Amino acid sequence: MNPYNIDNMKILKYCSAILLLLICTTFSLQAQDTILNRSVSVQREYRPVIHDAGKINSMPQVLEPNEDKSPAVYSNFNLPLNAGYNIHVLPAADLVTEKQVDPNKGFARFGFGNYLNTLADFAYPLVNTPDLKLDFSLNHLATFEAKRMHTTTKANLSFDKLFKTFDLYAGVGGGHEYFKYYGNNVNAANSPVNLDSMATAYPLAMYAEKNRQGVDYTPRLYNLNALAKDSFGDTFWRFNAVAGVRSLTMSDDWRYQAEMQYRVFSSHNGMAENLVHSQAGLNSQNGKNRMGLDFAMDNMMYTSKNMPDFNYWKSYTVLSLNPYYSIERPSYNVRLGMKLNLSFVHGKLISPVADVRGEWKLIPKFLSIYGGLSGDYEVNTLDKINTENPYVFSDLRVLDTYTPVDFYAGIKLKPLYNLLIDGYIDYKQIDNQYFFVNKEYDLAIPQYLVPEAPQYLYTNRFNVTYGTASHLKMGIRANYNLKKLVNVELKWAYNGWSVNNQQYAWNKPKYDAQLNTDIHINPNLWVSANMYYEGVRYAKLGDVAMPMHDKVDINLGINYSYTNWLTVFGKINNVINNRYQDFYGYDVQGTNMMIGAAFSF
């Protein structure tokens, strides 16, 4: 079967879903022409990660619409809901009220849904004066479904003090995450297997892990009972602290920023990571232009009680220096610089990249073009990797990724005052590009001793494979806003991957798209519809490429403001009940609903 063909049922399902979104948008155009001038306190919604189009995310100021709008008061509280599983929720404090919500007050939000999905947010400003803020926030997001249990809880305390010429800030936070490895273990025929049952049937069977990378390359042997117990679940603990200072003035004097972060990541079944991140920036005027230097340093330290002999390295340091010269004019801006990345103890010592970028407002109110030649050196910390994929094997340490070439160009067009279009192309060359693959085990004893036991096993834990890759991305982002009634955003991108030693860029989509629609039916009623799509992906099982179902996730939400302190909400997620998989073997929840309320106090 050609994986690129879609049967008639899938076409009908997708078309029906798109039609549903279009109906919501059309209905909104019939809404009232006026809406009361009010302030709306909003909070960012968790959505699957689909990056913004283009390299310059901020829109050129001259292209912004100038029509009168009701001001939106964005909460100072940051409640990130970045759990990597299929729970979508409504914004935390869409308190659409006749009376502006007092910015000195806090809020609480609670939600509950099928699959035992739960949500709780709390935030309160302990101190809130014009020059001093001390905020506390607590966030909980979980599913207690027996199969897919996954819970995250986070707490943060942030401090900010404004002085005459500079800002002093600090913060501390921590979090707990527990989850099950609920994905399927499969054999070479891609049939799910039960490791507990196999352990009883084949007590003598021994399996050796494949593709083990590290200081100790010796493959480890496991019996089936050990493999079954190893794949139950894990617990992560995270801690972070930050302190910094930055200049406030935008005059021609010196501008500066200095910050230090301390982050801890600890896995109950794996390794612990201590990271000290320091960064500083300083620039000054040079004639009509500016010149400066940005500095960053990461110090990583690793320990493990369970695997002391397998740590890749006990500690190492990555240093980055970025001198630049900046030309800023009303109609254009150019940055000329380079980055020098130094990795000590392991890897390539020197990894230079260019840092050249610019934007030209060709027709100030209608047309802007931008582009650049840059690169990157990305430290793949344990925290980062386990956030991307919490189901990786406990002792996995992913090599840092080096992107020596990143060329991009784009155009921003505003044909109408309320329509903005951003089209772009981005080409990267990448060293040590990693791809998640199911961890493989081979039978380590003669087959005749256990004739019915599978020769190969692919578990629900993940390893990585590396390659030198090129990535061509072409995309477009369009945003349309109709007065204060409707906002529609569309993103679409094509991803062309070429990997030197791999058949495919495993688990990476060839196409991705996102459609978001927000509709104000009346001053107290607000609805939303959004769709996420990722198509043409492959997983790797041994030497076999396994086609994965397209991600098509459609969500509908509604908010109703009952009083000036109470808002009730509801949401239906995965409306078409698409059981796609984020990672091979891990199907997401089907159609699920959540209801709840947000309180201002």
Pairing of strands 206-209, 401-416: unpaired
pLDDT digits (tens, 9 = 90+) for 21-32: 443 433 333 333
User: Phi/psi of residue 8, each to 5°?
Assistant: -60, -35
Whether the pLDDT of residue 19 is over 70: the answer is: no
Q: Widest CA span of the chain, in angstroms? A: 81
Q: Is the pLDDT of residue 326 over 60?
A: yes
Q: What is the pLDDT of residue 249?
A: 74
> DSSP string spanning 477-501?
EEEEEETTTEEEEEEEEEEEEEETT
For residues 70-74, average pLDDT: 27
Region 397-416 average pLDDT: 94
Q: What is the pLDDT at residue 116? A: 93
Say whether pLDDT at 461 is over 80: yes
For residues 121-135, average pLDDT: 93
CA atoms within a 13 Å half-sphere pointing along the CA-CB vector of 386: 26
CB-based burial of residue 497 (10 Å sphere; 0-12 exposed, 13-18 middle, 19+ buried)? Answer: buried
Percent of the chain predicted with pLDDT > 70: 80
pLDDT, mean of residues 504-522: 94
Instruction: Using alpha carbons, list the distances in angstroms from residue 166 to 243, 292, 355.
Output: 14, 18, 28
In a 13 Å sphere around the CA of 467, the CA atoms on its Cβ side amount to: 17
Q: Say if residue 50's pLDDT is above 50.
A: no
Out of 23-32, 113-122, 131-140, 289-298, least confident range = 23-32
Q: What is the mean pLDDT of residues 503-531?
A: 93
pLDDT digits (tens, 9 = 90+) for 473-485: 999 999 998 877 8
Does residue 6 carry a pLDDT above 60? no
Average pLDDT over residues 455-473: 95
Greatest mean pLDDT among 42-46, 220-224, 255-259 lies in 255-259
Rounded to the nearest angstrom, the gap between the alpha carbon of residue 384 and the centroid of all alpha carbons in its chain is 10
What torsion, rounded to 10 degrees, do the Cα atoms 541, 545, 550, 553 define? 20
Per-residue pLDDT at 396: 87
Residue 432, amino acid: N
Picking from 303, 315, 306, 254, the residue whose alpha carbon sits closest to that of residue 280 is 254
End-to-end Cα spacing for the chain: 58
Highest-confidence segment of 16-25, 218-227, 240-249, 250-259: 240-249
Q: 307 falls in which pLDDT band (50, 70, 90)?
A: low
Q: Which pLDDT belongs to residue 21? A: 43
Host H or E run for residue 383:
helix 382-388
Distance, in Å, from the CA atom of 361 to the CA atom of 46, rounded to the nearest integer, reads: 33
What pLDDT was estimated at residue 98?
A: 35
Average pLDDT of every residue of the chain: 82
More confident residue, 598 or 214: 598
CB atoms within 10 A of CB 543: 7
> What SS3 state is found at 290?
strand
Across 436-452, average pLDDT: 92
pTM of the model: 0.82
- Say what the pLDDT of residue 216 is: 65
- For 191, residues 6+ apart whose C-beta sits below 8 A from its C-beta are none
Residue 405: band (very low, low, confident or very high) from pLDDT cuts 50, 70, 90 = very high
CA 324 to chain centre: 29
- Exposed/middle/buried for residue 528 (C-beta within 10 Å: 0-12, 13-18, 19+): buried
Q: Look up tokens 């080096």; give the residue.
A: 402
Element (H, E) at 128: strand 117-129
pLDDT of 346 > 60? The answer is yes
Q: Are 155 and 177 in contact (CB under 8 A)?
A: no
Angle at 360 between CA 356 and CA 363, to 5 degrees: 170
Give the pLDDT score at 86. Answer: 43
Distance CA 86, CA 52 (A): 20
pLDDT digits (tens, 9 = 90+) for 415-428: 988 899 999 999 99
State the fold for domain 8-600. Maltoporin; Chain A (2.40.170)
- Check pLDDT > 80 for residue 446: yes
Using CA atoms, how far apart are residues 501 and 257, in angstroms rounded to an integer? 42
Q: What is the pLDDT of residue 503?
A: 94
Among 311-325, 374-388, 400-414, 452-466, name the one with the lowest average pLDDT.
311-325
Q: What is the pLDDT of residue 309?
A: 56
> Residue 90: is its pLDDT beyond 80?
no
Those residues whose C-beta lies under 8 Å from the C-beta of residue 317, and which sit 6 or more positions away, are 297, 298, 299, 300, 343, 344, 345
- Cα–Cα distance for residue pair 92/597, rounded to 1 Å: 9
At 178, list the tokens.
């527990």
CA gap 291, 299 in Å, rounded: 27
pLDDT attached to residue 580: 93
Cα–Cα distance measured from residue 289 to residue 175, given in angstroms and rounded to the nearest whole number: 44
- Tracing tokens 């929720």 back to the chain, one arrives at 89
C-alpha–C-alpha distance, residues 166 and 150, integer Å:
42
Within 8 A by CB and 6+ apart from 174, the residues are 154, 155, 237, 238, 239, 240
pLDDT over threshold 70, residue 89: no
Residue 190 gets the label, from left (phi > 0), alpha (psi -120 to 50) or beta, of left
